[in-house]
Amino acid sequence: MSRTGTRPRSGAVARARTHIAIERTTLRNGLRVVVSPDRSSPAVFVAAYYDVGFRSEPKGRTGFAHLFEHLMFEGSVNLPKGKHDELTTGNGGWNNGSTRNDFTNYYEMMPSNALELALFLEADRMRGIALTPENLRNQTDVVKEEIKVNVKNAPYGGFSWLYLPQVLFNTFPNAHDAYGDFNDLEAATLDDAHAFFDRYYAPGNCVLVVAGDADPDKTFAMAARHFGDIPAREVPATVDAEEPVPPKERRKVHTDPHAPQPAVAVGYRTPDPIRNLDDYVAATLLSSLLTDGEASRLFQRLVKHDRIASHVGGSVGLVAGTFEVRGPSMFEISAMYHGAADPAPVLRSIDEEIARVIDGVDAEELARFTNATRANVLGALDSLEQRGMWIAAMEQQRGRAEMINDIPELLARVTPADVSRVAAEWLRPAARAVLDWRPGAVA
Amino acid sequence: MNPSFLQPPAVGRPRPIAVPAFAERTLRTGLRVIAVRRPSVPRAEIRLRIPAGIAHDSGNGVRARLLPETLLGGTADRSSFEIAKELQRLGAGLDTHADADDLVLSGGVLVENLSAYLDLAASILTTPTFPASEIAVARDRLAQEILISRSQPQTTAAEAMAARLYGKHPYGRGLPDPDAVRRTGRAPIARFHAERVVPKGATMIVVGDIRPERALDAAEAAFGRWRRKAAAGKIDGPAVPTAGVPLQIVDRPGSVQTTIQIGGAALPRNHQDFLSLALANLVFGGYFTSRLVKNIRESKGYTYSPRSLISHRKLASTLQIIADVGTEVTAPALLEIRYELGRMAALRVEQEELDAARRYLAGITALQLTTQAGVASYLDAIVAAGLAPDYLKGFRAALERVGTDEVREMAARYLAPTNLVTVLVGDRAAIARDVAALEPVAD
């Protein structure tokens, strides 16, 4: 409690609720369509989420899901290379795509007069893509430059999002280099791409989401018009990426020629994001309590008290966000620290702070983090893009886009005892991964 | 393949860009407050800009950079930890940073706590105590941040570019030396705060689910008693070299990419020809379907995210072309960029190219105004550029007036390769010979 100043009114948290409308239909070819109308701005977000990601990649083709995402912009049945982008930007919008562990998405943010155009564009590449050896060569080169700028030529490139899962996990779907080994990328063929498209880009393997200035019934009719005649194909079984929790600590040293200072990332497994949602949500608040901002335990400890670290971070999720992961997820804590490359003092302080959380969490402290997290969620939901992405992932992975309205309540239900229990169960030193990041020349 | 190609559906007229309705008040102290109602979520966003940025620090910029790192260190009645906890209770975030011209406070809050939040922000801004322990931590962190920042080739290139464009002017100073940061004590920071953090010339934007008049009242109640006279001191604009500056290579041995930055003068946003230049920049390299991206990414595969952009400071606007390219294609990439610049400067753009860029700029401007944070940031930028808050009223009409003649004239002046300065950060031994074959290289 503060000594002086105004107290927030008690209604603050209660108002942090959302009533985001969700309507859905399924076309006969299996395409699931979700519309979330919001007429407040003349803008619309359209996204196609395919159930394919890093975890679907075959051995010998690391990075292929992402390379393939690039190929989806290289021309389709009715449109030559470049036309998709020109129709998007030339009508006042933008598009992008991204590849994650459990999905690959393609999306357009458009003035709402271009809604039907966006649906046409997504339908056209679901119909088929126009692959040429030149385009494959070109996008392989672009992807290699992407990996260089984000990882190989950058200090701390790929630090906790790319490399830490490779230490925490042990099976190929979870532990391989998701951005891709250059030899694997070079080896990819047009036949690989055609087979990948046939297998994973079936209408029944996709969720189409429209959020914003759109009438649900008219949008369903438009979707049927543009996607309805794409033939149904067999839908692959969902990847089972389950694997045991590490039986003992896993540790790896990574040498970074560009990093001026050492860093350390610690990974733990988490409660199952789907089957044990309540504990998974408790883990997100545990993460906030430990690492989110100036008031967090580890910021106070490592930056303010020990004065050993300059930056502390943490998250629950993989490269995909907290509620955009279906398979095994990760609880991550990271710190950049001063002095010699020896993570032991940082790890010792982390362990002590986790032990304190296991001993008990004050209700007032948890309430503050819950309140801050709910306010952040509300802020994020103001963005049509963020809202549409959460809706899409929740529908794709849980069949329940409505969960977007549950988040405030799910957070509010977490008790101090839940946070301590989840910490005791999951943040065990013996079941963690440590990525020991050291500056210096690569041997 | 279909026997007859499907045509993309027609796109109707976009709804007009909605100009946010605003209210404005300049307090007797000189603080200008602008408020907009946007009820999309029960939150509010603020941006507060005070002319106490890095250029106003007559020394090496350390004081101006340490000020935002220490402002949240404590007030007359709260410690830094108590400030952090109070922000959580309010469901709020508050970020402080310095850019070249201004000290900027930005953040968001659950709207029913707006008054308490503004009170807190005012006390942070006007009664900081700068405790020694907080300064010690902030110094360590800033020094570390500078080291990390300098290990990024893009930062190295930006520092070299600033020095070449602006020389001894404060805009030409790069990051300060980390040791100078570690040596700076409390007194200079407190003095810089006392001299520079004044209401005259400061602007606050409030956007949220609240009537504008009420937001203005809340801002006046919180900040009305903030009075302090500005210290004397005026900065003149820099002289920017426009021709004859040879290409500079900054050696980064072993770098797998070359970071290319090409820069020169540009027009400020409030100049009558600015939109003509903005459209010329878009056609050249300002969006995904620009000539630059089509050439060196989508055709040649030299790079992942090449782009050109116009950035603004109060006394100088800059045009920058940025690309991280594979080391082995450095000279070919430079050649293509030069070719595209030359085409812009010497030839008229196609009418359809210009129209597409125009529709893109109108569209994304409208899309930016679909969130509270988007409206707040847009207004902040507009007003900082000396434009009226209702600038958008005439925006589409002004865009329509730009023809290929105007674009040609702007391109000839601002995109001519001879008027631009080039900096490369890369492996000198691997690139210097081929680059020198194209143009003179500075020693």
**pLDDT (0 to 100) of residue B1:** 41
Amino acid at B196: R
In chain A, which residue's Cα lies nearest the Cα of B293? A82
User: In chain B, which residues have their Cβ closer than 8 Å to the Cβ of A36?
Assistant: none
> What average pLDDT does the segment A39-51 reach?
95
> What pLDDT shows up at residue A78?
94
Residues A94, B364 contacting (CB under 8 angstroms) = yes
- The string of pLDDT tens digits covering residues B3-37 is 467 899 989 888 877 778 899 999 999 999 999 99
Which residues are within 8 A (CB) of B315 and not within 5 positions of it... i.e. 6 or more apart? B55, B101, B171, B235, B236, B237, B238
Which of A17, A41, A119 would best serve as a mutation to test chain B binding (most B beta carbons within 10 A)?
A41
* Average pLDDT value for residue range B201-208: 97
- Distance from B175 to chain A by nearest Cα, in Å? 16
Give the SS3 label for residue B182. Answer: helix
Cα-Cα-Cα-Cα dihedral sign, residues A231, A67, B329, B306:
positive
Residues of A in contact with B363 (CB under 8 A): 91-93, 110-111
| Section A234-258 average pLDDT | 96
What are the C-alpha distances in Å from B286 to residues A89, B18, B311, B376, B417? 11, 24, 12, 23, 17
Q: Please state, in angstroms and rounded to a whole number, the distance separating the CA atoms of residues B211 and B110.
A: 15
Q: Using a CB-CB distance cutoff of 8 angstroms, which residues of chain B are in contact with residue A42?
A: 14-15, 18, 366
Q: Does B20 touch chain A (CB under 8 A)?
A: no
Q: Are B90 and A116 in contact (CB < 8 Å)?
A: no
pLDDT of residue B87: 98
pLDDT of residue B419: 93
Residue A3 has pLDDT above 50, yes or no: no
Any chain B CB within 8 A of the CB of A221?
no
At residue A7 the predicted structure's pLDDT band, cuts being 50, 70 and 90, is very low
At B400, list the tokens. 């329509």
Of B417, B249, B263, the closest CA to residue B330 belongs to B249
pLDDT above 90: residue B214? yes
B4 interfacial to chain A (CB closer than 8 Å): no
**Measured between CA atoms, how close is B335 to chain A, in angstroms?**
18
Question: Is pLDDT at B56 greater than 70 in this prediction?
Answer: yes
Helix (H, G, I), strand (E, B) or coil at A426: helix
Query: DSSP letter string over B321-359?
Result: EEEEEEGGGHHHHHHHHHHHHHHHHHSPPPHHHHHHHHH
- Percent helix, strand, coil in chain B, to 5, is 50, 20, 30
The predicted pLDDT at position A11 comes to 40
Q: Is the pLDDT of residue A443 over 70?
A: no
Residues of A within 8 A of B6 (CB-CB) are 77-78, 120, 124
What pLDDT is recorded for position A45?
A: 98
Backbone φ and ψ of B50, nearest 5°: -125, 130
The separation between CA A108 and the C-alpha centre of its own chain, rounded to angstroms, equals 18
d(CA B333, CA A49): 35
Share of chain B above pLDDT 90, in %: 91
Establish if B115 touches chain A: CB-CB under 8 angstroms.
yes
A26: part of which helix (H) or strand (E)?
Answer: strand A23-26
pLDDT band (50, 70, 90) for residue A85: very high
Among A1-10, A310-319, B313-322, B418-427, the minimum mean pLDDT is found in A1-10
In the structure, what pLDDT confidence band is assigned to residue B229 with cuts at 50, 70 and 90? confident
Question: Is ipTM beyond 0.90?
Answer: yes
Is residue B367's pLDDT more than 70? yes
Confidence label for B142 from pLDDT (cuts 50, 70 and 90): very high
Q: Which of A78, A110, A116 sits opposite B6 (nearest CB)?
A: A78
The predicted-structure confidence for A111-151, as pLDDT tens digits, reads as follows 999 999 999 999 999 999 999 999 999 999 999 999 999 99
CA atoms of A406 and A412, how far apart (whole Å):
10
Task: Find out whether A203 and A227 touch, Cβ atoms under 8 Å.
Answer: yes
Check whether B94 has a pLDDT greater than 60. yes
pLDDT at position B240, please?
Answer: 82
The overall average pLDDT reported for chain A is 94
Q: Give me the residue label for tokens 């996709």.
A: A206
State the Cα–Cα distance between residues B402 and B86, nearest whole angstrom.
50
B113: pLDDT confidence band, cut at 50, 70 and 90? very high
Task: Assess contact for B263 and B161: CB atoms under 8 A.
Answer: yes
Chain A residues within 8 A of B372 when measuring between CB atoms = 379, 382
End-to-end alpha-carbon separation of chain A, Å? 53
Looking at chain A from residue 313 to 372, which residues have their Cβ under 8 Å from any Cβ of chain B?
Answer: 336, 338, 368-369, 371-372
Round to whole Å and give the CA distance between B75 and B73.
7
* pLDDT value, residue B3: 46
CA distances from B435 to A321, B249, B327, B442 (A): 43, 9, 11, 11
- Inter-chain touch A383–B5, beta carbons under 8 Å: no
Nearest CB to A85 within list B86, B137, B289: B289
Chain A residues lying within 8 Å of B87, measured CB to CB: 295, 372
Q: Are A333 and A266 in contact (CB under 8 A)?
A: yes
Residue of B4, B7, B11, B294 to mutate, testing the A interface (most A Cβ within 10 Å of its Cβ): B11
The distance of Cα A133 from the centroid of its chain, to the nearest Å, equals: 31
What is residue B241's predicted lDDT score, i.e. its pLDDT?
77
Q: Could you tell me if A414 lies within 8 Å of chain B, comparing CB atoms?
A: no
Distance from CA of A264 to the nearest CA of B (A): 15
pLDDT category at B231 given cuts 50, 70, 90 is: confident
For strand A206-212 and strand A309-316, is the pairing parallel, antiparallel, or unpaired?
unpaired
Provide the 8-state DSSP code for B65: H
Q: Closest partner residue to A371 among B88, B108, B116, by Cβ? A: B88
Q: Compute the distance between CA of residue B320 and CA of residue B307 in angstroms, rounded to an integer.
A: 8
Q: Is A229 on the interface with B (CB under 8 A)?
A: no
Range B160-174 average pLDDT: 95
Q: Which residues pair with B249 in a beta bridge?
A: B424
B378 touches chain A (CB under 8 A): no
CA angle B200, B203, B209 (to 5 degrees): 145
Query: B253 and chain A: CB distance < 8 Å anywhere?
Result: no
Asked if B41 and A148 touch (Cβ cutoff 8 Å), the reply is: no
Residue A402 has pLDDT above 60, yes or no: yes
